[in-house]
Amino acid sequence: MLIRRIFNNPALYRNPFNELERMRRQMDMLAGNLFTGSPQQTVAPGVYPALNLTEDKDKYYIRAELPGLKNEDLDIQATGKSISISGQKKIPPEDDNAKYHRREREAGKFSRIIDLPDNIDTEKVEAGLASGILTITIPKAEAVKPKQITIR
């Protein structure tokens, strides 16, 4: 009976790093809230907005989902090999007497930095926002575009 209690005890087989992982997640959450505000007012970094990055021979294209945002809510910056999209998602406050049953829409500041495979021409980057989709057209730098070589 004593042997069964000792060897059937789940505490003996518990991963000793589970508690450390739980503490790390709590510290990450606490550190994130110190710099961005309360948990109810933030959007998870690196997740919003959802986007696609595609390319063709001459350009890269970024298409991001930003429903409800206006041009003045966004800041887009281009550097040698990256594009930064940042802004603030605003949701009008509910009535003070409102009682939430489900809260999935969040408001707050967001920022995404998209690293591109090659250098870009930052002077010719264009952006447009239509129907909640941000489209950024990014020309590749001349040095990285493929050159046709003629055979003599």
For Cα atoms 110, 46, 104, give the angle at the middle one, nearest 5 degrees.
70
| Predicted pLDDT of residue 57 | 87
Q: Could you tell me the domains of the chain? A: 43-144 (2.60.40.790)
Q: What is the pTM of this model?
A: 0.63
DSSP labels, 61-123: EEEEE-TT--GGGEEEEE-SSEEEEEEEE--PPPPTT---S------EEEEEEEE-SS-B-GG
Interior angle at CA 116, CA 113 and CA 121, nearest 5: 105
Using the predicted structure, report yes or no on whether residue 40 has a pLDDT greater than 70: no
Which pLDDT tens digit goes with each residue over 89-114? 888 888 888 888 887 777 888 888 99
Average pLDDT over residues 1-23: 65
Q: What is the pLDDT of residues 132-145, one digit of tens each?
A: 999 999 999 887 77
| 152 HSE (CA, 13 A, CB side) | 0
